[in-house]
Amino acid sequence: MKQRTRKLIGTVVILVFVCVYALVAMALAQGRITEASRLVQGIAYVTLGLAWILPLLPLIKWMERKDEV
């Protein structure tokens, strides 16, 4: 598969994943986190804000892989 095709597929997957992840993160943030202390809220928001990248790292590496000759 050419790199250009991988990037197109990866971009669509990333957009769908981030939209779904944002909805899940908002649901979690509106749940019990609002009743927690400020420190726990801060940790939870930072974790939720950065956790989306971990599952996408393999996909990004796959997208950036060079074409096989």
Give me the average pLDDT of each 10-residue run along the chain (69 residues): 94 97 91 88 92 94 88
Reported pTM: 0.81
Number of H helices, E strands in the chain: 3, 0
**Contact in structure between 62 and 2 (CB atoms under 8 Å):** no
pLDDT at 29: 85
Query: In this structure, what are the phi and psi dihedrals at residue 51, rounded to the nearest 5 degrees?
Result: -70, -20
Sign of the alpha-carbon dihedral angle for 25, 28, 30, 33: negative
